[in-house]
Structure 1
């Protein structure tokens, strides 16, 4: 159970920022005893891999905060984030951590199963992020991009830490995130439905309503 929450948290975090969970997983595995990556995933702790991930993380953080550039970045990340989610789930769910000392059968049932699960989770989160960003940019004239991006980065880091150190918190964070997403979608739908009515009312107030034929 806990290893599934670990993988879920890391894959979801990768849907927001591909490099945060991978860099954290590799760094903790290399320099601490908190994480012990399983066989086949030790390459995440390699110094060169960590350096590349750190550089890519910096580029991602900067690009995602520039209106217009963030959309191009999301297009590119449509492949990267799901792939990172698969790696994060596969490596994280099978790792020994401070909480999970004996990963269960799911993690060791074949690497493609957890990897495929991670790909789907990260893809779903990425899709939600990519759909929301243009709306936020349009309604805030681009001012909301850096704020939302910073919140996404912080959420990705928090999810990754929770997944590795306190997996049960992943459930709470995912529930809160889902509630916020549902509320945002509901408000957006309500505004879209109210817009035609407001336009009609304004037209009538300004004498633009239908005229009676002579």
Structure 2
């Protein structure tokens, strides 16, 4: 069997950005899919990501993505899950993005890994904030179908984005740029909506004479 070709710079950049962004949405699915792709030889993982293809990591991420798949479909529980993972997804997105450049040799240097960590953490934070805000807004509706639909869309978007980063990195970077703009708009609009809703149901404090 011929060895898989190494990723070029454009693919590395697209992969780092995709891992950062997708970690803000479905961290455990990202870890599992990336590790499985390396384990089965579908793509050549950079040295800093090869730990993800270890069977122990694959098994653990598989269990966690199953739990997340279920939790993300239940109104209320999805927002609680998002709140708890605020402290997990963002640093994990930074670590995965940095791992794309870690161990690639002195020609890359630690500067690439540090820059990727900063960008990956920022992308993860943006995606996480947009997801959490959107799901919180959806939870104001009594019907559960919007939650399930949004969750399934996220389940499909993550593998699609990772595949795009490997196969068509330039297109993946363009899609991510549009996703960031859309996320920022959603955060601004839905945050105002949730704040107004909270004010509506919060009793006004009596004025002090």
The answer, yes or no, to whether TM exceeds 0.5 is yes
Gaps of 5+ in 1: 97-101, 193-214
Q: Does structure 1 retain, via aligned residues, the 8 Å contact 2:94–2:117?
A: yes
| TM-score normalised according to structure 2 size | 0.74
* RMSD between aligned residues: 3.1
Q: CA deviation at 1:78?
A: 0.5
- In the alignment, the residues of structure 1 paired with residue 172 and residue 21 of structure 2 have an alpha-carbon distance, to the nearest angstrom, of 10
Q: CA deviation at 1:168?
A: 1.4
Q: CA deviation at 1:152?
A: 1.2
Instruction: Give the alignment of 1:14-163 within 5 angstroms.
Output: 14-32=23-41, 34-38=43-47, 40-93=48-101, 105=108, 108-109=110-111, 111-139=113-141, 141-163=143-165
Q: Rate the CA distance shift 1:21–1:191 in 2: closer, same or farther, 3 A.
A: closer
Aligned residue for 1:207? none
Q: CA deviation at 1:71?
A: 1.0
Q: CA deviation at 1:185?
A: 6.5
Count of residue pairs brought into register by the alignment: 186
Which SS does the other structure have where 2:141 is aligned? helix
Gaps of 5+ in 2: 1-8, 195-209
| TM-score normalised according to structure 1 size | 0.73
Aligned residue for 2:199? none
- In the alignment, the residues of structure 2 paired with residue 86 and residue 6 of structure 1 have an alpha-carbon distance, to the nearest angstrom, of 12
CA distances 1:99-127 after superposition (whole Å, capped 9, x unpaired): xxx99737x53644422321221011101
Pair 1:166 & 2:175 matched: no
- In the alignment, the residues of structure 1 paired with residue 63 and residue 139 of structure 2 have an alpha-carbon distance, to the nearest angstrom, of 26
Higher Rg: 1
